[in-house]
């Protein structure tokens, strides 16, 4: 097949949480890979075999494939058989999709796309993006998509913390602009993915990804709503969920301080903006999840009011356990709101977060937070915080929105 030999060059555009693992895995599978990023410091780090993001196993793999000469990074694209676009797709202030990074990536690769090349968009995108922002952007005048150049969407599905396993093991949904585009893209993914490669069209693939993350958002919202209503009725929501989930057809997710990360709280807006009148449930779920951090702040301040000059200890700032990723983190939002409230002294501890990222907050060791806190808030369930018990925190009142310590039967837990 023209342009797609087993050892052909792959150009991965965007070297973040999705693009860099993808580039490294392709290089390990024997491809010659050039990763492209507009951030020179990221490019330089990768070319030294280093990684600026925290993801288990990624630093070793990048060091290995860079040393073997199969992965290099650059600020400029190169001519390649396959282009994979893994750039961010955030939402604007008004919650409409911001496709500027996708358009910029398409424009950047345009001079390098030769006849027979395959261009795949992995970024989570609203329906129509693969056609309008990618195909229309990269195809030279007179060329026909599906004959001269092949364009498809294959949404990334990797879970931060398990990216290296999931990028290879997950089933993938591949949707081309034409059937031939789908076929070319599916053959590319079949060459390194062990999961099933499922074929469809580009618009369906775009919608599938948005449905996956919206499904999760709606279901977390249900758990969060449940936790807020149960707390007013003297019932432990975690026990309610545990018991309800023993029904063969019930599987409620877990409440927490809110929904963070750059995906679950963002992607549902792409569905909303495509059909505002037809997305009541999705919009309500977003509102419920967005309201949860403030509910937790209220619980903490109510507990702090009972104490004189209280010290409030916040455990965890990242959006979920095992990562230092602070993007849209409800834990960080709660800690900052408490800090700004001026009610007592706020101390924070997160072993995965560099203090310099939050110069407004007072960091302390776990031992110091435990020793000094009058109110202790369990925000991000890092494994380092599991197994704590009243013996660790003494008389402190505990607020535990994730139910992490409920097993330890703490007196005074809110």
320 is catalytic: no
Minimum CB separation of residue 177 from ligand SAJ in Å reads 22
Site for ligand SAJ in 245-304 (CB under 6 A): 253-254, 256, 259-261, 263-264
Q: Closer CB to ligand SAJ, residue 183 or residue 212?
A: 212
Residue 216 binds ligand SAJ (CB under 6 A) = yes
Q: DSSP letter for 314, please.
A: E
Q: Closer CB to ligand SAJ, residue 53 or residue 113?
A: 53
Among residues 209, 314, 320, 358, the one annotated as catalytic is 209
Which tokens in the block code for residue 52? 């600026």
Residue 158 binds ligand SAJ (CB under 6 A) = yes
Residues present in the chain in total: 414
Q: Closer CB to ligand SAJ, residue 66 or residue 326?
A: 326
Residue 172 binds ligand SAJ (CB under 6 A) = no
In Å, how far are 111, 138, 145, 146, 176 from 142, measured between CA atoms?
Answer: 15, 12, 10, 13, 19
Minimum CB separation of residue 63 from ligand SAJ in Å reads 24
Interface residue with ligand SAJ, options 75, 92, 159, 367 (CB under 6 A): 159
Q: Which residues pair with 363 in a beta bridge?
A: 348
Q: Are 303 and 269 in contact (CB under 8 A)?
A: no
Residue 156 binds ligand SAJ (CB under 6 A) = yes
Between CA 279 and CA 342 the distance in angstroms is: 39
Q: Closer CB to ligand SAJ, residue 91 or residue 113?
A: 91
Q: DSSP letter for 354, please.
A: -
> Among 41, 34, 46, 40, which Cα is nearest to 70's?
34
Q: Are 54 and 103 in contact (CB under 8 A)?
A: no
349 is catalytic: no
Kindly state the number of chain residues that form the binding site for ligand SAJ, as judged by CB under 6 A: 20
Between CA 317 and CA 381 the distance in angstroms is: 10
Q: Which residues bind ligand SAJ (CB under 6 A)?
A: 124, 156-160, 212-213, 216, 220, 253-254, 256, 259-261, 263-264, 319-320
Active site residues: 209, 263
């Amino acid at each position: 097949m023209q342009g797609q030999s087993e050892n052909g060059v792959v150009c991965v555009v965007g070297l973040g949480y999705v693009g860099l693992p993808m580039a490294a895995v392709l290089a390990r599978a024997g491809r010659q890979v050039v990763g492209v990023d507009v951030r020179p410091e990221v490019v330089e780090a990768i070319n030294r075999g280093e990684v600026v993001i925290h993801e288990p196993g990624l630093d070793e793999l990048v060091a290995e494939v860079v040393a073997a000469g199969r992965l290099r990074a650059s600020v400029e694209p190169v001519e390649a058989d396959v282009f994979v676009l893994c750039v961010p797709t955030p939402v604007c202030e008004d919650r409409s999709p911001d496709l500027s990074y996708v358009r910029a990536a398409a424009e950047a690769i345009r001079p390098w796309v030769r006849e027979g090349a395959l261009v795949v968009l992995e970024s989570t995108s609203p329906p129509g993006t693969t056609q309008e922002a990618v195909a229309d952007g990269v195809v030279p005048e007179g060329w026909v998509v599906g004959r001269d150049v092949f364009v498809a969407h294959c949404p990334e599905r990797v879970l931060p913390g398990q990216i290296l396993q999931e990028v290879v093991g997950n089933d993938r949904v591949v949707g081309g602009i034409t059937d031939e585009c789908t076929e070319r893209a599916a053959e590319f993914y079949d060459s390194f993915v062990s999961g099933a490669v499922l074929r469809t069209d580009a618009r369906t693939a775009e919608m599938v990804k948005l449905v996956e993350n919206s499904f999760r958002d709606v279901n977390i919202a249900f758990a969060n709503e449940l936790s807020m209503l149960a707390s007013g009725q003297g019932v432990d929501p975690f026990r309610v969920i545990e018991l309800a989930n023993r029904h063969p057809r019930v599987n409620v997710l877990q409440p927490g301080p809110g929904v963070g990360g750059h995906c679950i709280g963002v992607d549902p807006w792409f569905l909303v903006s495509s059909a505002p009148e037809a997305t009541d449930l999705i919009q309500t779920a977003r509102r419920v999840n967005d309201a949860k951090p403030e509910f937790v702040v209220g619980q903490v301040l109510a507990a702090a009011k009972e104490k004189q000059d209280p010290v409030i200890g916040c455990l965890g700032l990242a959006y979920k356990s095992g990562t230092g990723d602070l993007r849209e983190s409800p834990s960080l939002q709660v800690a900052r709101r408490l800090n700004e409230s001026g009610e007592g002294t706020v101390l924070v501890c997160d072993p995965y977060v560099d203090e310099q990222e939050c110069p407004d907050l007072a960091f302390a060791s776990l031992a110091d937070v435990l020793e000094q806190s009058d109110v202790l808030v369990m925000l991000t369930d890092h494994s380092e915080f599991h197994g704590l018990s009243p013996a660790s925190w003494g008389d402190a009142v505990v607020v535990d929105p994730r139910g992490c310590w409920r097993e330890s039967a703490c007196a005074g837990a809110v």
